[in-house]
């Protein structure tokens, strides 16, 4: 269901997400990178002392010194080390792959990681990402996307995400809904997400803000975690199945039971509140550019 957003509460979300994204983009600059994850563990042993670990899929949500944090579709966060033995490559489908170094591991990129396990954690034996995603992420990092190269002000507005909330126009909002206590997308929800992404592609300079919600069932801590898992599930599907580019996604947010669409006193109202909102935004600085 697509509805035009008129809720003033989204301004608070924009302020939070804009500041978070601005910080996240700054962390990706090659010369000014700061570790936004802290890992205390034992030194990584020789590979012969390790056992095969799980294959982890998701997007890079933080990076530190020779470590990345990968957030999965269910919201699970995994901190994974990498070193000179790790094979990092960008898949090119049927035509092979390109090998690269740790500098390619940018925040927001969808990745598939094969791991080895040791007492102190996980070591990546192979990290695979899509060539197209890497190309677009690098364009944003360096400000070379051709669509904005001729307009320096527009480029800076996109890269900084314009922390002032008054600079955003909310074009539309699409809601997808969930069963009680679940973060699993239905086939109908998946179709609506890709339709929303397709519609947003036609909006010049559009960004997506994804916000997860719950009904009033359960504790505050449980609902906060659940709302974040729902947002992560949606953002992963948008990027991996609907091919929405990571650089055009603001930081996802979980709002638990806040800002309900309907009363939580009825089953029908609770069903409306168990949702993720996908908001299509355009900075006023580049709206119409």
**Does residue 31 have a pLDDT over 80?**
no
* Cα–Cα distance measured from residue 96 to residue 98, given in angstroms and rounded to the nearest whole number: 7
**Does residue 158 have a pLDDT over 60?**
no
Single out the residue of 213, 218, 212, 159 nearest to residue 24, CA to CA: 159
Q: How confident is the model at residue 66 (pLDDT cuts 50, 70, 90)?
A: confident
Comparing 158-162, 193-197, 218-222, 240-244, the range with the smallest average pLDDT is: 158-162
**Does residue 76 have a pLDDT over 90?**
no
Query: pLDDT (tens digit, 9 = 90+) per residue, 100-148?
Result: 777 778 777 788 999 999 888 899 999 987 655 555 455 444 433 333 3
Query: pLDDT (tens digit, 9 = 90+) per residue, 163-214?
Result: 344 456 888 899 999 999 999 999 999 999 999 999 999 888 888 989 999 9
* 26: helix, strand or coil: helix
Which tokens belong to 106?
Answer: 């940018």
Say which DSSP state 218 is in. S
Single out the residue of 66, 14, 110, 61 nearest to residue 228, CA to CA: 61
Q: How confident is the model at residue 16 (pLDDT cuts 50, 70, 90)?
A: very low
Q: Which residues in 103-121 are b (16+ Cβ under 10 Å) and which e?
A: ebbbbbbbbebbbbebeeb
* 161: helix, strand or coil: coil
Give helix then strand counts, H and E, for the chain: 7, 12
Q: How confident is the model at residue 265 (pLDDT cuts 50, 70, 90)?
A: very high
- How much is the mean pLDDT over the chain? 74
Q: Delineate the domains of the chain, giving CATH numbers in brackets.
A: 2-27+161-283 (3.30.1330.60)
**Does residue 270 have a pLDDT over 90?**
yes
pLDDT the model gives residue 178:
96
Residue 62, beta-bridge partner list:
69
Structure-derived torsion over alpha carbons of residues 31, 36, 38, 39, reported in degrees to the nearest 10: -70
pLDDT the model gives residue 108:
73
**Does residue 255 have a pLDDT over 50?**
yes
Instruction: Say if residues 20 and 211 touch (Cβ distance below 8 Å).
Output: no
- The mean pLDDT value for 52-73 works out to 85
Q: Positive or negative CA dihedral for 245, 240, 277, 223?
A: negative
pLDDT the model gives residue 117:
92
* Cα–Cα distance measured from residue 51 to residue 36, given in angstroms and rounded to the nearest whole number: 28
């Amino acid at each position: 269901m697509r509805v035009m957003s008129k809720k003033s509460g989204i301004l608070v979300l924009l302020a939070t997400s804009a500041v978070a994204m601005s910080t996240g983009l700054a962390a990706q600059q090659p010369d000014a990178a700061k570790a936004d994850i802290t890992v205390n563990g034992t030194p990584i042993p020789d590979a012969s002392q390790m056992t095969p670990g799980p294959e982890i899929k998701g997007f890079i949500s933080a990076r530190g010194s020779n470590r990345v944090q990968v957030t999965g579709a269910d919201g699970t966060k995994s901190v994974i080390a990498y070193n000179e033995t790790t094979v990092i490559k960008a898949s090119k489908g049927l035509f092979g792959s390109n090998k690269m170094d740790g500098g390619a591991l940018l925040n927001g990129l969808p990745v598939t990681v094969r791991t080895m396990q040791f007492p102190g954690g996980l070591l990546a034996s192979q990290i695979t990402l899509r060539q197209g995603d890497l190309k677009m992420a690098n364009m944003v990092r360096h400000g070379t996307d051709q669509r904005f190269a001729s307009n320096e002000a527009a480029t800076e507005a996109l890269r900084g995400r314009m922390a002032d909330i008054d600079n955003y126009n909310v074009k539309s909002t699409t809601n997808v809904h969930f069963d009680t206590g679940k973060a699993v997308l239905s086939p109908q929800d998946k179709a609506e997400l890709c339709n929303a992404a397709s519609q947003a592609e036609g909006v010049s300079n559009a960004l997506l803000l994804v916000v997860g919600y719950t009904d009033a069932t359960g504790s505050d801590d449980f609902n906060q975690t659940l709302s974040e898992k729902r947002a992560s599930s949606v953002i992963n599907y948008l990027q991996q199945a609907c091919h929405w580019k990571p650089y055009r996604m603001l930081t996802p947010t979980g709002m638990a039971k806040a800002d309900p669409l309907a009363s939580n006193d009825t089953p029908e109202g609770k069903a409306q509140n168990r949702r993720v909102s996908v908001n299509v935004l355009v900075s006023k600085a580049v709206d119409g550019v």
